[in-house]
A and B are shown apart, each in its own frame.
Chain A
Amino acid sequence: MRRTMKVLVAVKRAIDPNVKVRVKADGSDVELNGVKMALNPFCEIAVEEAIRLKEKGLASEVVVVSVGTSAAQEQLRTALALGADRALLVETSAMLEPLNVAKYLSKVIDQEKPRLILFGKQAIDQENNQVGQMVAQLIGSGQATYASAVNQVDGQWVVEREVDGGSQVVALAMPAVVTCDLRLNQPRYASLPNIMKAKKKPLEIIAADTLGASVKEHARLLGVVPPAVRKAGITVGSVAELVDKLKNVAGVI
């Protein structure tokens, strides 16, 4: 009999990537009230990869998990509509620092015992690029960040990674953590029938403080400002004029 090969995918509710954020007038944070939210794009890629692994017979069950407020149920339903089997919400209204999220997730992993844990490489809101790596450390697993291909060979996960100078391949013992980069796959769209079916799939809510994770504050957000505005540029009429400006006005060539 085949061993069960459960895949866990961590997903985040984040600002829609097409929204241009604004800083609040009091400079305390960015304005998120009334702003369209979505499944973080890299998390979508992670969900897609899990579903493809299941379609290839390399995964038996796809479980999605999110840490956040009850509003994140919406993104979990999206993941269910894409093909995940069931969802878990670790519910908390606390500020979510990466290490705390990683601690909650590692407790969930202890209970679920997946053979592969997939993450997006980063969330497009806080851009920390930390949680996958932290979870790997906390559960004592190997990690492959910035994955562009995921395969299984001789009981190991073999992952191609995007690195600064090109690509690298690593092999990881199971269970392993993989964080997904842009070019891993092209996520599918959820069909209307699948969106309807997703409403009936199991979604379990776990109160964060019942997991026994030792969370604490590590940082304070003192304020947020918009980036410096570039002064308006000019339109040049010809290549010759452009070269003249670059040589004689800007002095950069």
Chain B
Amino acid sequence: MTILVIAEHDNKALAPATLNTVAAAAKIGGDVHVLVAGQGASAVAEAAAKIAGVAKVLSADNAAYAHQLPENVAPLVAALVQEAGDKGYSHILAAATSNGKNILPRVAAALDVDQISEIISVESADTFKRPIYAGNAIATVQSTAAIKVITVRATGFDPVAAEGGSAAVEAVGAAHDAGISSFVNEELAKSDRPELTAAKIVVSGGRGMQNGDNFKHLYALADKLGAAVGASRAAVDAGFVPNDMQVGQTGKIVAPQLYIAVGISGAIQHLAGMKDSKVIVAINKDEEAPIFQVADYGLVADLFEAIPELEKLV
């Protein structure tokens, strides 16, 4: 068996989620190849070659892949699989990031197979576990497809080591440009804090924060703890913070060592994004808030008194 992992990157750096995806590939077993599709992404290909357990890196460096438009990347992946033939790739994996989720179903359709979304465990080479219904049920699914196309929920797998491998980097000449889509621009939020999905500690605020300015209390606490800052949908919809900070079923899925929920009631959709955290702390003045049902430590208090005090004491 050979597994093709599609690298998550921004042409400059390899994203940590790739290491979790390689970990899932290692559990399936077999040779692991990593595809880096991008433009001017040689540093990414070199980083991918150093990942522990990677046998080969395929580098498709072309203007058509600069922004990893799915219309161009999906035919590249499908062609690589088809060229490799029957003894080629048995599995194609990508992280369940916005990029991975954008590209992979197109690959699956091109190969005339279904996709298994957001696996959290590997039971065997064809059987996987995945959450459904906002994490309220865990399904065990056996794929009968000839090629298994899978997205991997990063929080389900401990990352493999970023160093220690010495895979060969092989250039892929093919350039697929479907010519039906183009990149216009992007606006990425700038933050010096750790990335939300990879942070060991996450501090999240909800509607109880009352306004965007009050998030400064959470930023101060987060900086003291080396934490990332997240938010509930209510806080994002109210315009307190940008939507890439949203934790939940439709936002980011996180599973840090410590999750501190501040002024968050704990709707099912929010819990779906954080209930696998190791330790959950809830700070809320409503003692009936559902968040207390999943919290390891609950503090019924006014957050505007509790957060500054917490910042002082940690």
A contact set with B: CB distance below 8 Å: 15, 17, 20-21, 23, 30, 97-99, 102, 121-122, 124-138, 140-146, 148, 158, 161-173, 176, 181-183, 217-227, 230, 233-236, 238-240, 242-243, 245-246, 250, 252-253
Q: Assuming A21-B136, A134-B106, A145-B98, what are 4 further A-B pairs, CB within 8 angstroms? A: A124-B249, A125-B133, A129-B105, A219-B142
Task: Assess the B136–A170 pair: CB atoms within 8 A.
Answer: no
Q: How many A-B residue pairs have CB under 8 A?
A: 250
Give bound CA distance, A225 to B141, whole Å: 12
The smallest C-beta distance from B194 to any residue of chain A, in angstroms, reads: 13
The smallest C-beta distance from B48 to any residue of chain A, in angstroms, reads: 19
Q: Considering only CB atoms, which chain B residue lies closest to A132 in the complex?
A: B105
Most chain-A Cβ atoms within 10 A of its Cβ — which of B109, B144, B188, B197? B109
Q: Considering only CB atoms, which chain A residue lies closest to B257 in the complex?
A: A252
Dominant secondary structure at the B interface: mixed
Dominant secondary structure at the A interface: mixed
Task: Assess the A171–B181 pair: CB atoms within 8 A.
Answer: yes
What is the 8 Å Cβ interface bit string for chain B, positions 122-160, against chain A (1 contact, 0 not)? 000001000111111111111111000000000000000
Give every chain A residue within 8 A of B115 (Cβ-Cβ). 98-99, 128, 130
The smallest C-beta distance from B118 to any residue of chain A, in angstroms, reads: 7
Task: Assess the B186–A164 pair: CB atoms within 8 A.
Answer: no
Give every chain A residue within 8 A of B104 (Cβ-Cβ). 133
Q: How large is the interface on B (under 10, 10 to 19, 20 to 34, 35 or more residues)?
A: 35 or more
Q: Which of B97, B139, B181, B269 contacts A172 (CB 8 A)?
A: B181
B contact set with A: CB distance below 8 Å: 67, 69-71, 74, 97-99, 101-106, 108-110, 112-118, 127, 131-145, 178-189, 197, 201, 225, 233, 236-237, 242-244, 249-250, 252, 257-258, 268-269, 275, 278-281, 287, 292, 294-301, 306, 309-310, 313-314
Give bound CA distance, A128 to B314, whole Å: 40
Task: Assess the A224–B180 pair: CB atoms within 8 A.
Answer: no
A-B contact pairs, 25 of them (CB 8 A): A99-B108, A129-B101, A130-B108, A130-B115, A130-B117, A134-B105, A134-B109, A136-B106, A162-B243, A163-B99, A168-B183, A169-B183, A171-B182, A181-B250, A226-B136, A227-B131, A227-B135, A233-B292, A238-B299, A239-B299, A240-B313, A243-B313, A243-B314, A246-B279, A246-B314
Task: Assess the A243–B244 pair: CB atoms within 8 A.
Answer: no
Give every chain A residue within 8 A of B301 (Cβ-Cβ). 239
Give every chain A residue within 8 A of B313 (Cβ-Cβ). 239-240, 243
